A and B are shown apart, each in its own frame.
Chain A
């Protein structure tokens, strides 16, 4: 069975070009970049080249790039650095729809004497910057708002938000794990202090991430150890991962146009056709201001896990915000923050595309989804009660 992979916000395929450049660093080029000898030192030079590639994607300077193990480490490092370097400030501002790497960290910090403000979003997942302005206090250590939401794709106005924070002398961090490579990012045109990205969301392997730290920003490392990364992140470098990420960043920069034209067109087609063919379905999130690869659609009267498993039978991979897929009893915190009714949230499916998806794959999904939804609705006690039938199959 062919796999149709529409779960690229969860993770992505490693690009063949990325694998190719990584391979030597698993075998013959195993030297430690910190070594005195040429054998190791030559790897150090490759890492520098990767740093330049990553900086290029972000419009940053290479020395502003710190390689980490993942997006979560980058997020944790940024928040903890802001708290460590400003020990008198005890207030953190985030949003209600942040990734667990931020939310769970803040929940962990709260009992240690930190005050957390979670900014609300409206029914489309949109942030009102006025709320940020009101929440900023002299005690605020850092504001952390995600650039693009992993579940809905909604884009936050982080560049404006960073200005607001700076007006009050507050540091600003953004989790750009979903945004990097999908929308243009240029750190020369904004005042964001710190930014996280993750390799495996942009066709590099798992286990590698980046924390961008603007030059001049006070910084305290999270991992204390050797002098690696200019003493900003201890631990021998994941050389193959770093070199792979560099290549992936270079590819992503070259693919930005494709993401915003080809991928966007396929995403729009998928969304348009599913809404047209399946009654009682709707999109979650602000469609006007969204990552080009993501659509989150609710199919009412049925439950997401069951949808995913029937899709799975056909080799179609996606995600759901339903409670049952997470093991918790509540549907996705993002959809709840948007006030999506539980009845809609349980039946939500997130489709996230990549440049590797083809028109044929999208047509296949468009063709198969109506029957999957109809089959589950025929089993649902709520479907007929509403006086509706599964039409248009």
Chain B
């Protein structure tokens, strides 16, 4: 039995936005009945070019249906540019996570969204220069590359879980392994734009407010920013965190990790005396 989160179950049993929009602005169909899941996504824009309505029809398992439902909820109210930034991880996160073997359901949602937006923008539906790697499930090199890059995949099995590629006859396993090596060898790009000091301070504050404080508070703890000097973030722990023996670990592995991810890889977090 799959270990689905309550959110997955809830979206499976009460899916939002089932159906098809008439005269949609964007439409896409991805997957096939043969490969076990398929998704048709339609959306409509309002006068401000925001997605006013999105609907889906899905053939697939509980997590495929829940992922489609989550996707339509996530993109409503977004501009097309914002929607393009939605990743399969966002869909999985919205559902409180998906079992590894079911991550491809979230990827299917992401693919449908991209294709529907391409359809809206009038772009060619097939990615230029893409080559089919997995014949069984019709997965291209570009799709595999993207899944590997965005999810830090390291094994062929991972790739199969996320994209289905390699799940059939297995003839493409070597090709998939090559793609993983290629992506691994890519120089890590400086992803974050350079920030002014003020922007950086604001981003640190926002990240702590949005990403960090809520989970600390769940455990009865809290955190205050005392000062920000260059890349050093000086903090004081409060509540349960102040007396917790694991607070050091929380600061390093959670607070610092998250700030490095969201703000800059150079950030260090230090606790100042209480």
Query: Which residues of A line the B interface, CB within 8 A?
Result: 301-306, 309-310, 313, 322-325, 327-331, 341-343, 346, 378-382
Contacts and interface: CB of A to CB of B under 8 A. Distances in A.
B168 interface: yes
Contacts of B272: none
Contacts of B40: 381
B57 A342 contact: no
Given A306-B60, A382-B59, A329 B36 contact: yes
B113 interface: no
Interface string B259-274: 0000000000000000
B246 interface: no
B12 A306 contact: yes
Interface string B148-163: 0000000000001000
A373 to B, nearest CB: 13
Interface stretch (B27-35, B77-85, B179-187, B248-256): B27-35
Interchain residue pairs A-B with the least CB separation, the first 7: A329-B167, A324-B61, A305-B61, A381-B40, A381-B57, A342-B34, A343-B33
A380 B39 CA distance: 8
Nearest to A327: B101
Contact of B33 (A301, A306, A310): A301
A379 B160 contact: no
A331 B101 contact: no
Contacts of A324: 36-37, 60-61, 64, 102
Interface in B131-173: 137, 160, 164, 167-168
A379 B61 CA distance: 11
Interface string B35-79: 111111000000000000000011111101100000000000000
B86 interface: no
Given A306-B65, A329-B35, A330-B168, A380 B59 contact: yes
B36 A331 contact: yes
Given A329-B168, A330-B168, A381 B58 contact: yes
Contacts of B13: 310, 313
Contacts, number: 75
A309 B59 contact: no
20 contacts: A301-B59, A303-B59, A303-B61, A313-B13, A322-B36, A322-B61, A324-B36, A324-B64, A327-B101, A328-B167, A329-B36, A330-B167, A341-B34, A346-B36, A379-B58, A379-B59, A381-B29, A381-B38, A381-B40, A381-B59
A341 B36 CA distance: 11
A109 B177 CA distance: 26
A232 B59 CA distance: 51
Task: Say what secondary structure dominates the interface of chain B.
Answer: mixed
A379 B36 contact: no
B221 interface: no
B18 interface: yes
A56 B3 CA distance: 43
Contacts of A303: 36-37, 59-61, 64
Interface in B207-243: none
Contacts of B168: 329-330
B24 interface: no
A331 B168 CA distance: 10
Nearest to A328: B167
Contacts of A325: 61
A324 B62 CA distance: 9
Contacts of B97: none
A304 B61 CA distance: 7
A86 B157 CA distance: 38
Given A331-B36, A346-B33, A381-B39, A306 B137 contact: no
Contacts of B167: 328-330
A313 to B, nearest CB: 7
A305 B61 CA distance: 5
Given A381-B29, A381-B59, A323 B36 contact: yes
Interface string B1-21: 010000001001101001000
Contacts of A306: 12, 60-62, 64-65
A330 B136 CA distance: 10
A306 B36 CA distance: 11
Contacts of A380: 57-59
B17 to A, nearest CB: 11
Contacts of A305: 2, 61-62
B99 to A, nearest CB: 8
A329 B61 CA distance: 12
Contact of A342 (B33, B58, B101, B164): B33
Nearest to A323: B36
